[in-house]
Each structure stands twice: as C-alpha cells, then as structure tokens.
Amino acid sequence: MIIYLDFDGTVVEHAYPQIGADNPHALKVIRRLQDAGHQFILNTYRADLNDGSLQEAIDYLQRPERNLLPITEQTSLKIMPPSWEWNQAVKDNTLFIDDVSSGTPMIPNIQLQFGQQVDWKTLESWFEENEVI
C-alpha cells in the first residue's frame, strides 16, 4: 500500500515552524508498516512553504534514533487527504494518515494545552485487525 504521511499533528504535535513533541506510538507503527512492505510518501503543508521546514521534517524522520527506514519521497505540494475510508483505501491501494482527514482517530495533544493529533495506538490495533501489519 502507498501511505501518504502527514507530519505536524500526525507524527509530531503542531508547533510550526518548530518541530513539536513526538506523537506517542507514531514512529513504532510507521516502522511496523514499513517492515510489512508499505511505501511512505511524506505529504505535509511544509512542502507548500519555501522556508526550509520541509527539510527539517525530512531530517527529523531520518535521524538514526527514530529507527525508521528512509522516507525518500515527498509531495511537491500538500495533497488534501480524503476522508478516512478503509474500503476505498484498499481499492485504491492508497492510504492517507493525516490529522485533517475526517474520520481519522484522534487523541488530545500531550504537551500542548490544546488541539489534537492522530491516535496511533488505535490505528495500530486497526491495522492488526485488518492484517495490514
């Protein structure tokens, strides 16, 4: 499956232009998906900006302590994700994991006093139940 991965609010909490706190469980599930053979493409609003923040996100994901396989592809501009619809994702062999995709499971931010981020524990359970990982 091709997985379009958002960054702020998905992998980390929103803190643009800085990089926010790690979203708990995100890196573990991303790596499990990589190990299962799924391809990742970074799909972030940072690509729409010409301020170096896209490269900062790429560098963040590629640090050895993140324990991810390299994510070497990114969109040139943010692709707006469709609503979370598993049957359509399977049909298209394409999945968007993004905090702005309606229907994506969310949890409250941990370090920020407001907002939400993707709930990777729920996604992991869901991926296991559907034999994605």
Distance CA 22, CA 43 (A): 17
Q: Is the pTM of this model over 0.75?
A: yes
Report the half-sphere exposure of 74 (CA within 13 A, side-chain side).
23
Two tokens at 74? 């990114």
> Domains of the chain: which residue ranges?
2-129
Two tokens at 104? 């994506």
Q: In this predicted structure, what is the pLDDT of residue 112? A: 87
With a cut of 90, say whether residue 34 has pLDDT above it.
yes
Residue 22 has phi, psi (to 5 degrees) of -55, 140
CATH superfamily label, 2-129:
HAD superfamily/HAD-like (3.40.50.1000)
Please report, for residues 33, 58, 65, the alpha-carbon distance to residue 74 in angstroms, rounded to integers and kept in the order given. 17, 9, 21
Model confidence band, residue 39 (pLDDT cutoffs 50, 70, 90): very high
Distance CA 123, CA 90 (A): 15
